[in-house]
Amino acid sequence: MTAALALARRVLAWLVPALPRARVAWVRTALAVMAVLDVRYFLNSTGERGGTPELFAPVLVAEWLHLPPVTDGVAQMLFVGVHVGAVAMVLGGFARVPAAVQHAGGLVLGVSYLLWVLWAMSYGYVSHDHMAIVIGMLVLPTAGTSRYGGGPTADSVAGWPLRMIQLFTVLTYLGSVLAKYVFSGGSLLRWATSGTLAWAFIRRPNDVNQLLVQHALLLRAAQWGALLLEIASPVVFALRGRWLALAIGAFMSFHLATFVLLGIHFLPTVVCWSAFVPWERLPAWWRARRRTASLAPA
């Protein structure tokens, strides 16, 4: 019983760590900007489905919420809500802006973006790269007030939403591994040695991937690399400093390669890696840099 309680305490301490409150402000801004880009350029189908209610096939969460087919008026309200909420989140990080701005903005943005995503995916493709950002929108308002210049002051109220974003970012990759396992008939080896990339290059041809499509060994090596990177994703929780930066860089390189070769960007997941980045050090670094520049001889 004592061992079980000790384990429970360790798990709770990991799930609710003390992390810098200032980081919340920076992550809020990153996710808010991504939400605006998303509803404008990427996941913009919600605004186009008001006249096609017969195509509505609600995803599970939309069913739980009893969402009806979207209307043009509701879609426009959500579009405005995402933009207003995002502006409030960006401005709310500054010390002179009332805390109520970021509190209200977080709620408006979270609800508007959640509904926008649910309706968009209920009319077509379910994009798993949105899992972490949607969770982030919902949990970040629980952190309360945070400012860009708040420094390294840490507490668990700020740590929990950041940890949830980190956790669901990593779970995105583990979910991808699970999908590979299921769709390859229960064998990751079969997926890694298949012609998946060759098929993808033929399906989405461009000047770069057509140079590689006939090199089977290289493509299989790339598939092994992608699979092993996704399987190893939980390791980032054990890394610190430069090793963590290298790991994040590896995932950014993976997504850059995916974009160059296939035109698939995964930006909602990429932005969620910001929860691992020590943005709270940025103001102090910038002040030190300016001070050094001012003291330098002309």
Mean pLDDT of 128-145: 96
**Whole-number percent of the chain with pLDDT over 90:** 82
- Tell me how many domains the chain contains: 1
Measured in whole angstroms, how far is the alpha carbon of residue 56 from the centre of its chain? 26
In a domain, 161, yes or no: yes
Residue 78 tokens, joined: 């959500």
Per-residue pLDDT tens for 76-98? 999 999 999 999 999 999 999 99
Average pLDDT, the chain: 93
Question: Are 172 and 129 contacting, i.e. CB atoms less than 8 angstroms apart?
Answer: yes
Residue 290 CB: number of other CB atoms within 10 A? 10
Give the distance between the most distant pair of CA atoms in the chain. 71
- Higher-pLDDT residue of 47 and 291 is 47
Confidence check: pLDDT of 188 > 90:
yes
Residue 287 lies inside a defined structural domain of this protein: no
Q: Is residue 66 part of a domain?
A: yes
Check residue 298 and give its pLDDT: 56
Whether 290 has a pLDDT exceeding 90, the answer reads no
Average pLDDT of the segment spanning 284-296:
74
Beta carbons of 174 and 234 less than 8 angstroms apart:
yes
- From the DSSP assignment, how many helices (H) and strands (E) are in the chain? 13, 2
The residue length of the chain stands at 298
Q: Supply the pLDDT for residue 165.
A: 98
Work out the average pLDDT over 23-30: 97
On the question of pLDDT at 206 being above 70, the answer is: yes
pLDDT at 293 over 70: no
By C-alpha distance, which of 218, 233, 227 is closest to 276? 233
**217-255 confidence digits (pLDDT tens):** 999 999 999 999 999 999 999 999 999 999 999 999 999
Predicted pLDDT of residue 47: 87
pTM of the model: 0.94
Tokens, residue 224: 């092994």
Distance CA 96, CA 107 (A): 20
Residue 1 DSSP symbol = -
Q: Which of 269, 283, 176, 267 is nearest to 223 (CA)?
A: 176
Query: Could you tell me what percentage of the chain is helix, strand and coil, using 3-state DSSP and rounding each to the nearest 5?
Result: 75, 0, 25
- How far apart, in Å, are the Cα atoms of 213 and each of 2, 186, 210, 217? 57, 26, 5, 10
111 pLDDT above the threshold of 60: yes
Neighbours of 171 (CB within 10 A): 17
* Residue 171 Cα distances to 143, 160, 255, angstroms: 22, 16, 16
φ, ψ at 31 (rounded to 5°): -70, -35
**Looking at residue 126, what is its pLDDT?**
85
Name the pLDDT band for 109 (thresholds 50, 70, 90): very high
Q: Is the pLDDT of residue 171 over 60?
A: yes
What's the CA angle centered on 189, arms 220 and 180, to 5 degrees? 90
Answer yes or no: is 224 within a domain.
Answer: yes
Strand partners, 154: 20
Q: What single letter denotes the amino acid at residue 193?
A: T
In a domain, 170, yes or no: yes
Structure tokens at 163: 């940890």
pLDDT band at 260 (very low <50, low <70, confident <90, very high): very high
**Which residues constitute the domain of residue 155?**
2-279
* Structure confidence at residue 72 as a pLDDT band (50, 70, 90): very high
| CA–CA distance, 7 with 11 (Å, rounded to integer) | 6
